[in-house]
Amino acid sequence: MLLAGIDIGTLTCRLLVAEVNPPGEFTVVDADRRILRLGEGVDQHKRLSQAAMDRVVSTLIDWKEKTTKYPLDGVVVVATSAVRESENRKDFLARVTQETGWEVEILTGDEEARRTLLGIRFGLPPAIANFFGLDIGGGSTECILAHSGMAPAVISLDLGVVRLLERVLRLDPPTIQEIHQAEACIDEELAKVSKAFGTFSGIPLVGTAGSVTTLAAMSQGLPRYESARVHNYELTLSSIKGLEQDLTTKTGPQRLAMPGLEPGREYVIVAGTVILRRVMETFGFDRCLVSDFGLREGILVDKAGKLKNLG
């Protein structure tokens, strides 16, 4: 099946066109991603700004034109934290439908985690059946405890890189006090994970989404993003601490000179690094396996499964 999937995220919008044949075949035909910050100001004002909506709708119009050249079997468009929290989401959704003809599905936090898990599983080495999945987003962070043959335990936290940046990490570079405040915010949310999941040990941490994949690219000093070198790369806690020390002593423009950091992430990467470090310290992980497969792939795997069942 040739499918197109679009993930309208709080920070980044992603397009993926792929041939999907469950349970294991996945061939990328076309892909694009743009850092558009749809969720800027949503944490404070609970509304999507006109400028942010303009940026996203303009991109979706471009992608509509791009996808019409493919003989698609289906298209799925989803939105996450920023849209589900905004009071004017109906205006945004109506505008997207009017401009592109696409209907947008707003994912709950739990459903976002479920489809992220589908994507992660698709790209994991076969030997890894049980793991702790971490999806650090712009507005929320999804945690997934996956055990083979059992229903996954999932929890969505009100914790994301845009949210943390706007709430706490306001200075650039951030002060030590701001870093401590960020850690306190993170720890408060992570306490919910401990309560929901109980104790667990002996399983790997698998991280996905932009902060984690960017840290993998930076750890390797990649001059440009290479999915093949990022996917299934192992980030160590010591390397994350080293990158954090470097990132927190620089300003945004100075960070852009660091190999592996794409424009648009020069401010939010600090928040993403602190979140990942605190997750690893809290739950005793000394390394993180990086997955370049996540929600974008998961929504296509989910769509392919539904179409297959209908057939």
User: pLDDT 10s per residue in the chain (311 long)?
Assistant: 999 999 999 999 999 999 998 666 789 999 999 999 999 999 899 999 999 999 999 999 999 999 999 999 999 999 999 999 999 999 999 999 999 999 999 999 889 999 999 999 888 988 898 999 999 999 899 999 998 888 899 999 989 999 999 999 999 999 999 999 999 999 999 999 999 998 888 999 999 999 999 999 999 999 999 999 999 999 999 999 999 999 999 999 999 999 999 999 999 999 999 999 999 999 999 999 999 999 999 999 999 988 887 65
According to DSSP, the residues that pair with 7 across neighbouring strands are: 14, 78
What letter does residue 54 receive in the DSSP assignment?
H
Burial of 51 (0-12, 13-18, 19+ CB in 10 A): exposed
pLDDT at 24: 61
The pLDDT, as a whole number, for residue 43 is 86
Please state whether the peptide bond connecting residue 152 to the residue before it is cis, i.e. omega within 30 degrees of 0: no
Angle at CA of residue 166, ends 165 and 170, nearest 5°:
70
For residue 270, what is the DSSP state?
A: H
d(CA 90, CA 87): 8
Query: How buried is residue 2: exposed, middle or buried, by Cβ count under 10 Å (0-12/13-18/19+)?
Result: middle
CA distances from 212 to 49, 243, 277, 290, 302 (A): 27, 12, 11, 7, 23
Lookup result for tokens 């792929």: 18
Pair of tokens at residue 211: 């902060």
Cα–Cα distance measured from residue 231 to residue 119, given in angstroms and rounded to the nearest whole number: 12
pLDDT at 123: 86
Place of tokens 């914790």: 159
Q: What is the pLDDT of residue 12?
A: 94
Residue 22, pLDDT score: 66
